[in-house]
Amino acid sequence: MKSRVTGFLILSLLAAGPESRGQTGSRQAPAAPVRDNILRLSLREALEIALGAEGNPRVRIASEGVRQARYRSAQARSALLPNVEASLSDIDRTQNLRAFGLQFELPVPGFALPRLVGPFTVLDARASASQTVFDLSSIRRYQASRAGVEQASAENENVQDQIRNQVARAYLAALRADAALETARANLKLAEELLELATRMKATGSATGIEVTRARVQLANEQQRVLVAENERTRAQLQLLKAIGADLTATVELTQRLELLPVTGAALEDALKLALESRHDWKAQMKREETARLNQSAVKWERLPSASVFADYGTIGAGFDDAIPTRTYGIAVRIPIFDGGRRDARRAESTSQLLQERLRTQDLRDQIELEVRVALDNLRSATDQARTAEEGVALAQGELEQAQRRYAAGVGSSIETTDAQARLQRARDNRIAALFNYNLARIELGTATGTIRLMVQ
């Protein structure tokens, strides 16, 4: 069932053009095509740079978090492993026997116990070892640390998905800016053609001076829109460069365009199931709750006795020539009795932390369902808007062509042509906005279902 649902959503919701298919999990920043100091980027290449070793710093920060979790787990494991150490001491000392209570008189005439003994030397070379035999609390702490490593790994993957979302949005905004500039230049060309036609007709006596002036005003307006569109494109490209962690002085050329790809809607239940299977923030929260549960168990089992064995072996004497082997071994049992209420307080705290994580899990579950519902609804609405916008452009283009023919034939006015040109401009702007919203809805759905990485595979 899982493979069927996954395949269905991949094909129907996250379909991508041939230019955007490729691997995104590279840990090294690939070299994007650069010619004439121009960085040519597809969405796949932008994501590879962002997720590479020299890309977005958030990726490296999350990777360090995984390493730290592994080191913490190694520290927790050390409580269950043997502890071996060696020592060597060479002591030259004197001793006051009276300090140890040795100040009585001996019943031997002419002999008295000395007050000061020494100097004498003691050489001790020894190896010692200890091993925990039973400590359920330490076992639970180690298990909690292992869950913490899995949590950190899931959070690392979630950060990468967030970077994918951020870069995809920035790339999409840059595509919209490119399309807006292209449309502004096309509208400018239409205004130039209208001015040329009005000037020609005025020269033949078929048009008046006001029509030429009107055409010049329209041309000036379109020139202004081109300047604004160029500024918006520069801003969008800078934001894209920042998102991927590239040099802001680079010049970007995008190799993809805004497109309306065929998409089939998916059932809410299938999309929600896929989200709970794929979203890394959900996996991280589940591991966070598991860690809290194991930590609570570790605190609870601190009340149990713990046992350990110990041993040492070495030589001791006045020197190496005088040293003889000695050893010690045994078993120790520690039984907690009373610690001033510290364990009770820690247990209450860990119980509260576990309840807190369970509430966060439920809240995240509700948030995921909300995001999936909204994303599916946005995708359906954006699909209808995009199709309607395409029809609007076709109709507006036909209207402008008819108005131009009527004006050239002398049976129409320049106002009719200018109005048709303005409607075509609005239709083109509507198409750009609709395509942007459509592709944005695809990104949001990929993020909501945890499959955004499949958009570039």
pLDDT per residue over 386-414, tens digit each?
999 999 999 998 988 888 888 787 777 77
Query: Quick one: how far is CA 456 from the chain centroid?
Result: 16
Take residue 76 and report the two structure tokens written for it: 């927790």
User: Residues 346, 299: contact at Cβ < 8 Å?
Assistant: yes
- Please give the average per-residue pLDDT across 423-437, as a whole number: 92
Contacts of residue 32, Cβ cutoff 8 Å, sequence gap at least 6 = 39, 40, 41, 45, 46, 49
Lowest mean pLDDT across 11-20, 66-75, 240-249, 376-385:
11-20
pLDDT at 279 over 60: yes
- Please give the average per-residue pLDDT across 49-78, as a whole number: 91
Comparing 454 with 354, which gets the higher pLDDT? 354
- Please give the average per-residue pLDDT across 213-221, as a whole number: 89
Residue with tokens 């520690």: 334
Take residue 431 and report the two structure tokens written for it: 């198409």
pLDDT for position 448: 92
Take residue 263 and report the two structure tokens written for it: 């998409």
Q: Which residues pair with 380 in a beta bridge?
A: none
Q: Give how far Cα 147 sits from Cα of 68, 144, 192, 289, Å.
A: 13, 5, 67, 9
State the Cα–Cα distance between residues 341 and 349, nearest whole angstrom.
12
State the Cα–Cα distance between residues 213 and 150, nearest whole angstrom.
70
User: Residues 303, 180: contact at Cβ < 8 Å?
Assistant: no
Q: Where are the alpha helices (DSSP H) in 341-413?
A: 342-409
pLDDT per residue over 107-161, tens digit each?
767 676 778 888 989 999 999 999 999 999 999 999 999 999 999 999 999 999 9
pLDDT tier at 35 (50, 70, 90 boundaries)? low
User: Hey, which bits of 150-289 come out as E strands?
Assistant: 251-254
Q: Output phi, psi for 334, to 5 deg.
A: -105, 125
- Please give the average per-residue pLDDT across 38-61, as a whole number: 87
pLDDT for position 29: 43
pLDDT for position 36: 58
- Which of 174, 319, 322 lies closest to 255 in space, CA to CA? 174
Query: What residue type is 382 in one-letter code?
Result: A
Lowest mean pLDDT across 146-155, 263-272, 307-316:
263-272
**CA-atom Rg of the chain in angstroms:** 39
Q: What percent of the chain has pLDDT over 70?
A: 88
Mean pLDDT score of the chain: 86
pLDDT at 26 over 80: no
pLDDT for position 110: 67
pLDDT at 430 over 60: yes
State the Cα–Cα distance between residues 93 and 100, nearest whole angstrom.
15
Structural domains for the chain: 2-79+139-303+348-456 (1.20.1600.10)
pLDDT for position 149: 96
Take residue 336 and report the two structure tokens written for it: 């907690």
State the Cα–Cα distance between residues 347 and 256, nearest whole angstrom.
57
Q: Give how far Cα 401 sits from Cα of 4, 134, 149, 394, Å.
A: 49, 88, 65, 11
- Please give the average per-residue pLDDT across 230-249, as a whole number: 92
User: Residues 442, 381: contact at Cβ < 8 Å?
Assistant: no
pLDDT for position 373: 94
pLDDT per residue over 282-291, tens digit each?
999 999 999 9
State the Cα–Cα distance between residues 204 and 351, nearest whole angstrom.
92
Peptide bond between residue 109 and the one before it cis (omega within 30 degrees of 0)? no
Comparing 297 with 266, which gets the higher pLDDT? 297
The CB density around residue 405, as the number of other CB atoms within 10 Å, is 12
- Please give the average per-residue pLDDT across 93-104, as a whole number: 81
Q: Output phi, psi for 130, to 5 deg.
A: -140, 150
State the Cα–Cα distance between residues 260 and 26, nearest whole angstrom.
29
DSSP 235: H
Lowest mean pLDDT across 315-319, 356-360, 361-365:
315-319
What do you get for the CA distance between the two ends of the chain, in Å? 22
Take residue 345 and report the two structure tokens written for it: 């307080």
User: Residues 24, 164: contact at Cβ < 8 Å?
Assistant: yes
- Please give the average per-residue pLDDT across 424-450, as a whole number: 91
Residue with tokens 């031997």: 108
- Which of 240, 69, 269, 229 lies closest to 155 in space, CA to CA? 69
